[in-house]
Structure formats: structure tokens, C-alpha cells
Structure 1
């Protein structure tokens, strides 16, 4: 299995849920997975922040919150934990070094487009798609810009609402070609 797959959708559309289902399904098929999921937190029907989860061990750290926090960095409507980005980059670099069959990053968003967030590690992550499966999430309105900026040739782009079986079939087809 190799190639880059992108899951698109807007905030709250189910990108992370589909990505989590994919990683679980791939793991059940015996594929090793590594990377990061960003789980949204909600209060009063409003997004209140995100927690990062490291795949495969489930460690978590708060990435951002809507309430101001001392020492955290404001970007748009959230306050970001700078230590979470450092830890997340370590997790991603560690996952790349361990060479799992599947690398996962949730998500590439506005911060990365402004050279923040995961931007520094993205070239290395995308390069891994030549050797293994890489699955990332991107907001729909940024998908074209992400593909253009990093000169990507995705093996597939799926909306968050796409059935798990359809995405799995496309991914498994790359294994047959390899």
C-alpha cells in the first residue's frame, strides 16, 4: 500500500470520525498505523477546542481551546498550546521513523497554509507517500490550495461523508498495484 489519500470536509463534518474508522479498519487487517488524530471538543453546541491523540498508543494532549490560556498562542478564535505542537511533531517524526504501513495526520488547515502548525513536517510526511500509505484530512475549501502548494498527486480524495467501504476499497486497490 502506498500513496496519498485526502479526506475533505468542513469543521464538524466527520473527517476525524472517518479517519479513525479507517485506522481501526486497517489495523484489523494487520496494517501498522502511526500518526495523529485531532478530536474536537464541544460545549453548548459550539466547538470549544481540540485534543491530539497519538496513534497507536492513544496518548493525548490538549491542542487548543476557545478560552484564553496564559502562554498559549492565539490563532483566529482558538488559543493553541505550543507544547502540543512540539509534542505532535515529535510523535509524527517518531511515527515516520518507525515506518508503519500507514501514516495519518488530522488535519492540515489554515495554520499550515500560513506556515504554522504542522507545516514544517509536511514535506517529509508527503514524501513518505512514495513508500507507504499516507492519509490526511484537509478542509474542503483548502484542499486545492494544499495540493498545489505541496505539489501533491493524491491517489484519492474523499468527502468526509463517504462510506468507509468505498474508501477502504480505494486504499486496498493501491496494495494490489504495488
Structure 2
């Protein structure tokens, strides 16, 4: 049998094809070597948790691997919300812990408003939950909060847990507050 030689352009095509296959095969190995460090895929350098005791519960569930990869900042306070702390004070607290180095990626996770189903004071008047005056005052607080959060150099994520109250009136008030929060976040 006579040995055939490949034309030069066929040999060059074959070498290019082999090089492409090798690159495709070796690229995942290289990528895998780069991502063996779990921190390499962490989306943030700083995670700031804001809210009440429910936010504290979520914060406590962040595992050691994630804690090693980012700075976790706890701005939670039991039984707090927009009725106990002003929107401006929440924004001020967050600004106080944001990284000064703006190349650091920061995220704010908020779970706030769970306790905001009680009477509030405005101009020395007590506003009853569910009343039009209460709704207007709460919407105004939400607007001020959203305005302040929108100016922060960080991603802001407002999270909620499912409502689990058995009391119909409480559940209705939670639904009402959540609807106002969603409206303000748009």
C-alpha cells in the first residue's frame, strides 16, 4: 500500500482543528482550577443585613464558607421597622458601614416591615393601622426610604418571608403593608 501525504492546506486545517479541540478540552480544566476557591464566585465583598429579628434569623443561617468569603455586617434590631426607626436613620446606618473602597461590591439585604402593623404617631396624633391616614403616613415613610436607598452605592434587595399568622386581621394588615412596600419599590 502506498503512503499518501496530505496536501499542505489539509494538514494545516487538521492542525488548527486539533488546536481548537485541545483549547476546548483544556479550558474547563483551567476554569476549574480558578474556581476551586469558593470565594472566587462570591458576588459580593460585603453583605449588609438590615431589619428586625426575622432578618437576624436569616443572617444566622449564613454558613462559614460564605462568611469566609465576604464581610457580613449585621444592622438588625429586634422589633424594629419603619415605625420605630425613621427611613433616614436606616439609610444613615447603612451608609455608615458601606465600604469606603468603591471597587468593593456591596449588597444590602433588607427584611423590614414585619412589625409595621401597629399604630403610629404623626404630628402628635395616633394613627390606627388600616386607616387611610395610617396608609398615607406609611407610604410616605416608604417613599423616603426608597429615595435614600436609591442613592446608595450598593445593590439593595428587599426580601420577605411568607406570612404565617393565623389571625385574619393580622394577616390582612401584613398583606396591606407588603402591597405598599412592593408599590414603593417599583
TM-score (norm 1): 0.33
Determine which structure has more spread, i.e. the larger CA radius of gyration.
Answer: 2
Between 1 and 2, higher relative CO (CA 8 Å, sep ≥ 6) is seen in: 1
Structure ranking higher in helix proportion: 2
